[in-house]
Amino acid sequence: MTAIRPRTPGELRRNRRPRSHSCWDHLYAAPLWPLHGANLGTLARTCDAVGACLVLPRFSWVPEALARGNTLRRPVCVHWTGDPAGWLGGQRERGADVVGVELADEAVRLADLPAARRRTVMVLGHEQHGIPPEALDLLDTCVEIPMIGTGASLNVAVAGSLALYKLAGLL
């Protein structure tokens, strides 16, 4: 059997991009109604890993929570909005694909979700109430991550990270 040798931090760094992406025609992770700051730090790391932007509401506690959860060497690309539903509607008008990550009858399974081929916004729901009704009306597609356990749903950062990897074409 071949011996497994984990890569060193130096080797890992040499394989990474030297600088951040450009936001033009890009992939956006949008946890627009967050409740727990810790999930934002987790999502920021996944955004960095797949080269996506993070879209956040201008709630007073969010910048501090993001800074606390951010263990990255370079800051992730964050877009701020004071009007989450208005921002989503604007992206749609500009031709973006709006993909909701939600447990819903009409949803496609994660395995059947194609990688994003143009500007795509991935919308995540509130940790207790899910995606609000006014935003559900703005979705082009909805994706569900199948579950067979006893829990009702996944942690929002776990669900968002899985869907983001699929949309980025890295899974």
Ligand X SMILES: C[S@@+](CC[C@H](N)C(=O)[O-])C[C@H]1O[C@@H](n2cnc3c(N)ncnc32)[C@H](O)[C@@H]1O
Binding site for ligand X (CB under 6 A): 101-103, 124-125, 127-131, 144-145, 147, 153-154, 156, 159
Select from 125, 128, 112, 135 the least CA-distant residue to 159: 125
Q: Which residue is nearest to ligand X (CB)?
A: 125
Give the three-state DSSP class for 121.
strand
CB of 154 to ligand X, least distance (A): 4
Among 120, 159, 94, 93, residue whose Cα is nearest residue 28: 120
Residue 11 vs 106, nearer CB to ligand X: 106
Minimum Å gap between C-beta 130 and ligand X is: 3
Contacts of 76 (CB under 8 A, 6+ apart): 44, 45, 47, 48, 53, 54, 70
Nearest CB to ligand X, comparing residues 6 and 151: 151
- State the minimum distance, in angstroms, from the CB of residue 35 to ligand X: 9
| For ligand X, the closer CB: 21 or 85 | 85
